[in-house]
Chain A
């Protein structure tokens, strides 16, 4: 701040640092609560006063991945001894894992939803970033008539409320049999992310000096060769940042997934809330599912930290 520091200013600085720490703790408390509930025994998840110190358990994650049923009586000592460790933690909660006739463990709906989320988010990210990179290069390097209008048109497709787009898409998908399909959601998420990817990548492309390609063109490269050999490597950081943003958007998306899928291609965001049915939900299992689902995004946020400003402002503010 100012060159001259008075003692009151330094005092205020200390107060501000304490205030920042308090705010950070408040902001992170809900996330901490999700993470800690994911490792609690069920009876400690909803206590008053809240349980802060406890022996962490893995049972919520075992329950998350398996189908279970209530047991009328506790298992016999032999049964308990014969069971693998992951089944014992379920026994301790008064439940047992459901098996089919052949003794195969029955999975819950979670793993398949998680896998769907991965498939759909990754595929749509690759498509959106791939197309977006080419288009951004086109806008960045060549004169395009009505460029501002075209770019506004591209951005406006991203701003449409999902439910507005979902109504006609639902009818069209129903007509061609794309409802509840991976392809259907991939197309929707690609379209949704494409505009974002064009805007963000254009900013990155603008920053690569034109002279690099011009030098290559003089050396006998074709425009295409210059693009692939000179521009793309230069844009690698930007492409990675854009890809992570697109992945997070597709990964987190809820409204389209809720409307367009119900089972086969359902992703995790509509599935996790559907577990809270009537009655008392097992919050430890929901927390475990939420925790696993949030983990990739938390890691990505950390990796992206220097690009967050740019990504969240559609590349408008660069710093």
Chain B
């Protein structure tokens, strides 16, 4: 931990003797942040770990009873919860695949001399900067079966997007693709612009076809950065709450975060929701771990 760190930096100047030592400055700069995060992120998690072994309900004054692993056992045997995980997995796959396709595709199109390229890129990036909840709400109007512009533009008549149980999850994913394809595009553009030009020149001299050039030069060189985009979006899509919660109340689109929210703040099954939160937490940390490993790998290049 921070207190046991040693420093190797030492200034032999007169100033170093006058002011605080490097070790004190380092500790002064780092320890408050670490403490702050422990108090407001780690401590609450320890607190909820305790509750996850009880039948506590925050809506009543009844004391919490210790129930051991009962909550975890119940949750893992609950087909309802498993279906929430299945819905989440489906959602993650659809939305991340869509973002990868659209984002990388647009990046390929943009990766050339285009008039006003900077402005176009900035405009394309706008959706991902906006509030998911607030913009998501407006998509309700766009999806409206009778007067939404989506049905009008596509000539779909009164197609039900959000109130059809089969369609709701896809509609949420479509909005997510709209919001987050720009993210994949942004990272892809960075990857594409880093591919050395001489490789393409060499390929052109060798009369390599566009497919060969794409699969043998472009894709392998952009892959690491695409991987970062995919892992990051997977993690975020797995946590999705705002968009799905606002757009639809269809049980077929009930992602795990929404189940967790309902269990904790509508059904007030506090103890049990803490247990579910831990199951979700472990999954997220696993993905985060992979993500950080990849980040460091790309950084080293």
* Chain A interface (Cβ < 8 Å from any Cβ of B): 1-4, 13, 16-17, 19-21, 23-24, 27-31, 33-34, 37, 46-50, 131-132, 134-135, 137-139, 141-146, 148, 150, 152-157, 159-172, 174, 187-188, 190-191, 194-195, 198, 217-218, 220-225, 227, 248, 251-252, 254-255, 259, 268-270, 272-273, 276, 283, 286-287, 290, 293-294, 297-298, 300-302, 305, 308-309, 312-314, 316-317, 319
| B 95-126 binary contact with A (CB < 8 Å = 1; else 0) | 00000000000100110111100101111111
Among candidates A138, A167, A188, A302, residue contacting B277 with C-beta atoms closer than 8 Å: A167
CB-CB under 8 A for A1 and B33, given A165-B44, A301-B126? no
Cβ contact within 8 Å between A154 and B241: no
Which residues of chain B have C-beta atoms less than 8 A from A162's C-beta?
A: 239, 241
Q: Please tell me if B129 contacts chain A, counting CB pairs below 8 Å.
A: yes
CB-CB under 8 A for A313 and B187, given A223-B16, A254-B132? yes
- Interface size of B as a range: 35 or more
Among candidates B2, B11, B144, residue contacting A223 with C-beta atoms closer than 8 Å: B11
Which residues of chain A have C-beta atoms less than 8 A from B29's C-beta?
A: 134-135, 137-138
Which residues of chain A have C-beta atoms less than 8 A from B298's C-beta?
A: 316-317
Which residues of chain A have C-beta atoms less than 8 A from B113's C-beta?
A: 13
Cβ contact within 8 Å between A48 and B147: yes
Which residues of chain B have C-beta atoms less than 8 A from A138's C-beta?
A: 25-26, 29-30
Which residues of chain A have C-beta atoms less than 8 A from B246's C-beta?
A: 273
Q: When chains A and B are docked, how far (Å) is the Cα of A273 from the Cα of B36?
A: 32
**Which residues 106-163 of B sit at the A interface, judged by CB distance below 8 A?**
106, 109-110, 112-115, 118, 120-135, 137-142, 144, 146-147, 149, 152
Q: List 30 A-B contacts (CB under 8 A).
A: A2-B201, A2-B204, A16-B114, A23-B106, A23-B109, A29-B149, A46-B147, A50-B152, A138-B29, A142-B22, A145-B5, A145-B6, A160-B41, A164-B48, A164-B280, A165-B44, A167-B274, A190-B40, A223-B11, A223-B19, A223-B20, A224-B20, A225-B15, A251-B131, A255-B257, A269-B131, A290-B134, A290-B137, A298-B129, A309-B186
Q: How far is the CB of A52 from chain B (nearest CB, A)?
A: 10
Among candidates B23, B122, B149, B201, residue contacting A302 with C-beta atoms closer than 8 Å: B122
Q: How far is the CB of A116 from chain B (nearest CB, A)?
A: 14
Q: How far is the CB of A286 from chain B (nearest CB, A)?
A: 7
CB closest chain-A residue, reference B34: A150
Q: When chains A and B are docked, how far (Å) is the Cα of A131 from the Cα of B32?
A: 8
* Chain B interface (Cβ < 8 Å from any Cβ of A): 1-2, 4-9, 11, 13-16, 18-20, 22-23, 25-26, 28-30, 32-34, 36-37, 40-42, 44-45, 47-48, 51, 58, 106, 109-110, 112-115, 118, 120-135, 137-142, 144, 146-147, 149, 152, 178, 182-183, 186-187, 189-190, 193-194, 197, 200-201, 203-205, 225, 228, 232, 235, 239, 241-242, 246, 257, 260-261, 264-265, 270, 273-274, 277, 280-281, 284-285, 287-289, 291-292, 295-296, 298-299
The 5 closest A-B pairs by CB, nearest first: A222-B19, A138-B29, A168-B44, A254-B133, A252-B131
CB-CB under 8 A for A156 and B19, given A27-B124, A34-B138, A144-B5? no
Cβ contact within 8 Å between B130 and A294: yes
Which residues of chain B have C-beta atoms less than 8 A from A155's C-beta?
A: 288, 292
Among candidates A195, A224, A276, residue contacting B137 with C-beta atoms closer than 8 Å: A276
Q: How far is the CB of B154 from chain A (nearest CB, A)?
A: 11
CB-CB under 8 A for A314 and B295, given A46-B147, A298-B126? yes
Query: How many A-B pairs fall under 8 Å by CB?
Result: 321
Which residues of chain B have C-beta atoms less than 8 A from A13's C-beta?
A: 112-113
Which residues of chain B have C-beta atoms less than 8 A from A143's C-beta?
A: 5-9
Q: How far is the CB of B194 from chain A (nearest CB, A)?
A: 8
Cβ contact within 8 Å between A2 and B285: no
Taking A138-B29, A273-B134 as given, write out 6 further A-B residue pairs in contact, using a Cβ cutoff of 8 Å, ordered by the A residue number: A143-B7, A255-B257, A269-B133, A269-B134, A276-B140, A286-B138
CB closest chain-B residue, reference A213: B11
Q: When chains A and B are docked, how far (Å) is the Cα of A300 from the Cα of B7?
A: 40
Cβ contact within 8 Å between A159 and B235: yes
Q: When chains A and B are docked, how far (Å) is the Cα of A195 from the Cα of B288?
A: 14
Cβ contact within 8 Å between A194 and B204: no
Cβ contact within 8 Å between B270 and A301: no
What's the dominant secondary structure at chain A's contact region?
A: helix
Cβ contact within 8 Å between B109 and A163: no
Q: How far is the CB of B127 from chain A (nearest CB, A)?
A: 6
CB closest chain-B residue, reference A255: B241
Cβ contact within 8 Å between B44 and A169: yes
Which residues of chain B have C-beta atoms less than 8 A from A146's C-beta?
A: 1
Q: How far is the CB of A249 from chain B (nearest CB, A)?
A: 10
Cβ contact within 8 Å between B41 and A224: no
Among candidates B8, B123, B149, residue contacting A24 with C-beta atoms closer than 8 Å: B123
Which residues of chain A have C-beta atoms less than 8 A from B147's C-beta?
A: 46-48, 50
Q: How far is the CB of B275 from chain A (nearest CB, A)?
A: 11
CB-CB under 8 A for A317 and B137, given A223-B16, A223-B22? no
Among candidates A29, A198, A272, A317, residue contacting B33 with C-beta atoms closer than 8 Å: A198
